[in-house]
């Protein structure tokens, strides 16, 4: 019975992902946008693990493992990035340059 | 019986992931959103891993799923920390809607 | 409705929506975030299609390396020219619109043609599957890469080496220190590196070892190692160094060298070049390729000829 529900759970999580993209579009800060990549990483891992079970391909579990190993790269590359929201752009820029 | 348990846990996992997404979309500022997303999502991932481990049943797969979850926990802890720190340096929490 | 079709439709919609946002978005940073998500969606789609080899490579390169590369490039742009980084692109060129329409028409024509075309009975893929037993390999992808189309792989390694040399020519006088964050002031980052690095090396070796029989192999292992290398660069554990070193150069040409050996060795026995020599020789070549891929990608990211140990 669970095997029949599993692909529908995948569909549900994928729709969740699509909805989460709204936050990347809206912002308002760069941190908010980066949140979406966090959501994408966690949910992608869940979907990959479920696909491995659904398609009976254990190799896909290794993909999930690789994804969680490298998941922090984006946040690390982002850290120290100057904020560039319109209303306080100038202040943030000067603050950001000293940070690098 | 095990199948039914796996189903219940799977649905609960999907619910928590859903709750995390709703929190990310609806809460007022970046700190609240981080809080909702990282906690609820990782609980959801744990429940999904648990359900898949019940379905699979082998020790090897169970350990692999556990490892994936622990690494995901570490990754989102560090990511959330970095995002929050970055945001706080630019715009300290106010408690008001942005 | 069939659930497989629903999954395919949802994945397709997400991918096309992300691609449109990457190409048409008005904020540079927003487009970068969508591009990272695009890489993850690609990995999901490869997994859905059962192409675990491609999903592995895309999880490391599409979702990790290129995303970080763009993020760092954006940070540098903010440093060099804040005005341009902040600019909103409100107008698109008419040429771009025409090219997009042409490209969409081409894809639609090819797709329709592929749908109506009868399947060739003697396709190369079928031949690979029927003749794979002769090689003793279990993974058809590795069979194609190193046995049936070995010369292609040799040229691919040459392309990577050429790309690295080209980037060295371009970036010879660039500043080297902008990539690194002040990572060691952050308590969690040190723990992260201590946990991730040994595991990544272990899993890369695992991928290399099982590559002959299961999804994995030199490119996947190399990409994972390169991802860990970038992690080390970003946290300041490794730093770009201005002068190259003999060991680094040797690592860069190891893949090309090993594949050339693999191609020439059969001549000694009087067989044609690149003839299959057994699984041991493949493992040797794959190990060398893994090292080259990992070192070349990490150095490309650093924009430097070599690396040195950073703060510890």
The ipTM, to two decimals, is 0.88
- Average predicted confidence (pLDDT) for chain A: 80
Q: What is the pLDDT of residue C282?
A: 87
Chain C residue numbers touching A23 (CB-CB < 8 A): none
**Quick check: B45 and A42 CB within 8 A?**
yes
Q: Are C282 and C146 in contact (CB under 8 A)?
A: yes
Output the CA–CA distances (angstroms, integers) from residue C35 to A93, C11, C63, in the order listed. 24, 15, 8
Q: Return the DSSP state at B97.
A: -
Residue A85 scores a pLDDT above 50:
no
Q: Do A3 and B55 touch (CB under 8 A)?
A: yes
More confident residue, C105 or A81: C105
Cα R_g (chain C), whole angstroms = 22
Token output for C162: 């050429």
Q: Note whether A97 contacts C79, CB cutoff 8 Å.
A: yes
pLDDT at C179: 55
Rounded percentage of chain B residues whose pLDDT exceeds 70: 92
Chain A residue nearest residue C235, CA to CA? A76
pLDDT band at B15 (very low <50, low <70, confident <90, very high): very high
CA-based nearest residue in chain A for residue B66 = A65
**Which DSSP state fits A29?**
S
In whole angstroms, how far apart are CA A8 and each of B10, C1, C2, C244, C265?
11, 11, 10, 53, 53
Show which subunits contact A, needing at least 3 CB pairs below 8 angstroms: B, C
Mean pLDDT of the B4-22 span? 93
CA distance C129 to C141: 10
Predicted confidence band of residue B54 (pLDDT cuts 50, 70, 90) = very high
| pLDDT number for residue C178 | 53
Q: Which pLDDT score, from 0 to 100, does residue C181 have?
A: 56
Handedness of CA C277, C283, C284, C285 (dihedral sign): positive
Residue C240 bridge partners (DSSP): C307
Confidence of residue A93 (pLDDT cuts 50, 70, 90): very low
Extract the residue ranges of chain C whose pLDDT is less than 70.
1, 87-92, 174-185, 311-312
Q: Do A28 and B55 touch (CB under 8 A)?
A: no
Alpha helices in chain A (DSSP H): 2-26, 30-54, 59-69, 73-78, 89-99
Q: Cβ B17–A43 below 8 Å, yes or no?
A: yes
Weakest-pLDDT range from A31-45, A80-94, C18-32, C81-95: A80-94
Question: A34: Cβ–Cβ under 8 A, 6 or more apart, which residues?
Answer: A74, A75, A78, B83, C33
Nearest CA in chain A to B3: A2
Q: How confident is the model at residue A87 (pLDDT cuts 50, 70, 90)?
A: very low
**What's the Cα-to-Cα distance from C224 to each of A31, C192, C297, rounded to whole Å?**
26, 16, 10
User: CA C204 to CA A58: how far, in whole Å?
Assistant: 17
Predicted pLDDT of residue A50 = 94
In this prediction, residue C175 carries a pLDDT of 63
pTM equals 0.87
Interface check for A63 against chain B (CB to CB < 8 A): the answer is: no
Q: Contact at 8 Å (CB) between A61 and C23?
A: no
In contact, B81 and C186? CB cutoff 8 Å: yes
Q: Do A70 and C234 touch (CB under 8 A)?
A: no
B97 pLDDT band, cuts 50/70/90, is low
Lowest mean per-residue pLDDT among A45-49, B79-83, C200-204: B79-83
Using CB atoms and an 8 Å cut-off, which of residues 7-46 of chain B contact chain A?
7, 10-11, 13-14, 17-18, 20-21, 24-25, 30, 33-34, 37-38, 41-42, 44-45
pLDDT for A88 equals: 39
Average pLDDT along chain B: 88
HEC-encoded secondary structure of chain C: CCHHHHHHHHHHHHHHHHHHHHHHCCCHHHHHHHHHHHHHHHHHHHHHCCCHHHHHHHHHHHHHHHHHHHHHHHHHHHHHCHHHHHCCCCCCCHHHHHHHHHHHHHHHHHHHHHHHCCCCCCCHHHHHHHHHHHHCCCCHHHHHHHHHCHHHHHHHHHHHHHHHHHHHHHCCCCCCCCCCCCHHHCHHHHHHHHHHHHHHHHHHHHHHHHCCCCCCCHHHHHHHHHHHHHHHHHHCCEEEECCCCHHHHHHHHHHHHHHHHHHHHHHHCCCCCCCCCCHHHHHHHHHHHHHHHHHHHHHHHHCCCEEEECCC
Q: Is the pLDDT of residue A89 over 50?
A: no
CB contact under 8 A, B48 and A2: no
- Separation in Å, CA of B95 to nearest CA in chain A: 16
Measured from the Cβ of residue C172, the count of other Cβ atoms closer than 10 Å reads: 10
Q: How far is B52 from chain C (nearest CA, A)?
A: 17
Evaluate if residue B5 carries a pLDDT over 60. Answer: yes
**Rounded distance, CA C253 to CA C292, Å?**
7
C74 to chain B: which residues are within 8 Å by CB?
none
More confident residue, A23 or A86: A23
Using 50, 70 and 90 to split pLDDT, how confident is the model at A81?
A: low
Q: Do A70 and C59 touch (CB under 8 A)?
A: yes
Give the pLDDT of residue B95. Answer: 60
């Amino acid at each position: 019975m669970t095997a029949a529900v599993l692909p529908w759970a995948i569909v549900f999580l994928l729709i969740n992902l699509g909805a989460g993209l709204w936050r990347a579009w809206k912002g308002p800060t760069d941190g908010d946008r980066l949140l979406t990549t966090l959501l994408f990483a966690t949910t992608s891992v869940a979907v990959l693990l479920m696909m491995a079970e659904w398609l009976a391909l254990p190799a896909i579990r290794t993909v999930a493992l690789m994804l969680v190993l490298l998941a922090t790269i984006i946040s690390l590359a982002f850290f120290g990035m100057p904020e560039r929201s319109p209303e306080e752009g100038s202040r943030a820029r000067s603050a950001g340059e000293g940070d690098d | 019986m095990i199948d039914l348990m796996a189903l219940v846990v799977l649905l609960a996992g999907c619910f928590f992931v859903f709750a995390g997404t709703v929190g990310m979309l609806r809460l007022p500022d970046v700190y609240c959103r981080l809080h909702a997303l990282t906690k609820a999502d990782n609980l959801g991932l744990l429940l999904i891993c648990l359900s898949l481990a019940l379905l699979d049943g082998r020790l090897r797969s169970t350990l692999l799923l556990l490892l994936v979850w622990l690494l995901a926990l570490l990754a989102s802890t560090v990511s959330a920390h970095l995002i929050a720190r970055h945001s706080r340096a630019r715009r300290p929490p106010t408690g008001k809607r942005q | 409705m069939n659930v497989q079709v629903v999954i395919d439709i949802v994945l397709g919609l997400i991918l096309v929506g992300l691609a449109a946002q990457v190409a048409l978005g008005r904020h540079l940073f927003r487009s970068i975030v969508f591009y990272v998500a695009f890489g993850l969606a690609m990995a999901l789609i490869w997994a859905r299609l059962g192409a675990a080899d491609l999903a592995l490579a895309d999880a490391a390169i599409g979702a990790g390396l290129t995303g970080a590369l763009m993020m760092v490039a954006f940070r540098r742009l903010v440093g060099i020219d804040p005005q341009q980084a902040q600019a909103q692109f409100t107008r698109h060129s008419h040429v771009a619109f025409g090219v997009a329409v042409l490209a969409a028409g081409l894809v639609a024509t090819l797709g329709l043609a592929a749908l109506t075309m009868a399947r060739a009975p003697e396709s190369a893929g079928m031949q690979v599957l029927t003749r794979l037993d002769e090689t003793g390999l279990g993974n058809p992808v590795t069979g194609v890469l190193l046995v049936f189309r070995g010369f292609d792989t040799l040229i691919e390694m040459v392309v990577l080496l050429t790309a690295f040399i080209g980037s060295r020519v371009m970036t010879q006088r660039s500043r080297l220190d902008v990539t690194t964050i002040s990572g060691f002031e952050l308590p969690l980052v040190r723990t992260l590196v201590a946990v991730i690095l040994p595991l990544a090396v272990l899993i890369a070796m695992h991928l290399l070892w099982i590559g002959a029989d299961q999804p994995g192999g030199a490119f996947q292992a190399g990409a994972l190692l390169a991802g860990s290398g970038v992690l080390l660069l970003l946290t300041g554990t490794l730093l770009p160094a201005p002068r190259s070193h003999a060991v680094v150069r040797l690592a860069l040409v190891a893949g090309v060298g090993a594949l050339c050996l693999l191609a020439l060795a059969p001549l000694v026995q009087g067989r044609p070049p690149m003839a299959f020599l057994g699984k041991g020789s493949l493992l040797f070549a794959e190990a060398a390729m893994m090292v080259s891929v990992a070192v070349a990608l990490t150095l490309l990211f650093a924009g430097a000829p070599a690396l040195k140990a950073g703060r510890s």
